Amino acid sequence: MMTHPVTLIPGDGIGPEVADATARAVEASGASVEWDRVEAGLHALAEYGQLLPDDVFASLEATGVGLKGPTATPIAGGHQSINVALRKKLGLYTNFRPVRMLAGLRTRFHDLPLDIAIFRENTEDLYSGLEHEVVPGVVESLKIITRNASLRIARAAFAYARRERRHKVTAIHKANIMKLSDGLFLRCCRETAAEFPEIEYQELIVDNACMQLVMRPETFDVLVMPNLYGDIISDLAAGLVGGLGIVPGANLGDRHAVFEAVHGTAPDIAGKGLANPTALMQSAVLMLAHLNEREAAERLQSAIERVYAEGKHLTGDVGGKAGTAEFTDAVIRTMDAR
Ligand code: NAD
């Protein structure tokens, strides 16, 4: 059996709790993974005086694959986001977030078979970090949109749609107001759409997209959008399928892949053993598929689905009474029982 070296970044807040739970589940899935555990975030700052120490990059350079817990970013001041730095430095230009309804989960939309694939551009837009004070009382924040990055994310979305036999790609924008920047993004999407004539192409202004996602979420298939809209729409879509405890993600570049949940550090429940590890476990399923460990990926995914269908060991955020450990034990028992 092949052993895969993987960089494990536990992160801050609930990060170490969900990362440990997920590492246990991956080990029980039958895949052979050797973790290289490195610290980034507030732990790293306390221990090494750096939020994103060089050994994180050295490890990812060697393994090419990472599994990452959330890291804290101070609001209005303080340091730059670790995620933005990591995504830019490693060229992780695609942020892929599959939003699926888990059978058995009671949500406001549980009667709808939701399966929405979000492709969020991951390296530019208002996340470029180019902000300055022009004169006291006036600040400027630059929104960068490039043809290269827009084409890359559009191609990633359409290539996925073709490979997975999905029928429609929707580009989300605000080109009625940001005519040049979002206008360029849209032109790149249209150009790419012309190369995939079998896939229906649609455009929606972001505010209308939010309303339609809540009114008719089942009509959405594959979504592609610039960075900021992708951040917001991801959380909105997570709310449709049970919340942030559920939705996984993958940051993909040409040479590296870092898998992480959509959620943040959840400071309100950190350290209490209450966090739902499903989102990071489902991120690990994407990681196992990426490593070509298809059987292990399928085993972990179907164990998660069975635990939800049974509904006896679910965490508080999705209406259950279990903690992180009880849910994780149930997933592992279900895999072992096969
Ligand atoms: P959050 O995602 O941490 O929490 C929002 C709400 O969802 C909270 O009520 C939280 O308890 C709940 N929640 C989130 N994940 C959960 C889980 N796995 N199980 C159960 N409940 C869960 O968002 P926030 O409070 O806006 O952000 C907190 C911090 O996280 C900020 O510093 C932010 O910058 C950071 N953040 C990091 C990442 C990342 O590293 N990828 C992503 C988003 C936010």
Dist CA 278 CA 293 (whole Å): 19
Per the CB < 8 A criterion, the answer to whether 254 and 221 are in contact is: no
- Candidate of 235, 265, 282, 321 to mutate for ligand 1, largest count of ligand atoms within 8 Å of Cβ: 265
Show Cβ contacts of residue 152 under 8 Å, excluding neighbours closer than 6 positions.
93, 94, 121
- Per-residue pLDDT at 74: 76
Report which protein residue has its CA nearest ligand 1's atom 37. 264
| Rama region for 273: left / alpha / beta (φ>0; ψ in -120 to 50; rest) | left
Residue 17 Cα to ligand 1 midpoint, Å, equals: 13
Report the atom number in ligand 1 closest to the C-alpha of 243.
7
Ligand 1 in reach of 268 Cβ (< 6 A): yes
Ligand 1 in reach of 41 Cβ (< 6 A): no
Q: Name the nearest CA neighbour of 192 among 149, 233, 230.
A: 149
- Per-residue pLDDT at 46: 86
Provide the token pair at 15.
């990060």
Ligand 1 in reach of 263 Cβ (< 6 A): yes
Q: Name the nearest CA neighbour of 99 among 245, 254, 284.
A: 245
User: Residue 216 is which amino acid?
Assistant: R
- Per-residue pLDDT at 280: 98
Residue 235 Cα to ligand 1 midpoint, Å, equals: 10
Residue 276 Cα to ligand 1 midpoint, Å, equals: 11
Report which protein residue has its CA nearest ligand 1's atom 4. 266
Q: With H, G, I as helix, E, B as strand and everything else as coil, classify residue 139.
A: strand
Dist CA 336 CA 332 (whole Å): 6
- Per-residue pLDDT at 81: 86
Ligand 1 in reach of 70 Cβ (< 6 A): yes
Report which protein residue has its CA nearest ligand 1's atom 42. 264
Report the atom number in ligand 1 closest to the C-alpha of 74.
32
Strands (DSSP E) found in 142-287:
168-173, 200-205, 222-225, 250-252, 257-260
Residue 206 Cα to ligand 1 midpoint, Å, equals: 23
Residue 134 Cα to ligand 1 midpoint, Å, equals: 32
Per-residue pLDDT of the chain (338 residues; tens, 9 = 90+): 899 999 999 999 999 999 999 999 999 999 999 999 999 998 888 888 888 999 999 999 999 999 999 998 877 777 778 898 899 899 999 999 999 999 989 899 999 989 999 999 999 999 988 999 999 999 999 999 999 999 999 999 999 999 999 999 999 999 999 999 999 999 999 999 999 999 999 999 999 999 999 999 999 999 999 999 999 999 999 999 999 999 999 999 999 999 999 999 999 999 999 999 999 999 999 999 999 999 999 999 999 999 999 999 999 999 999 999 999 999 999 998 86
Dist CA 208 CA 21 (whole Å): 38
- Per-residue pLDDT at 128: 86
User: Residue 255 is which amino acid?
Assistant: R
Ligand 1 in reach of 17 Cβ (< 6 A): no
Ligand 1 in reach of 59 Cβ (< 6 A): no
Ligand 1 in reach of 12 Cβ (< 6 A): no
Residue 304 Cα to ligand 1 midpoint, Å, equals: 21
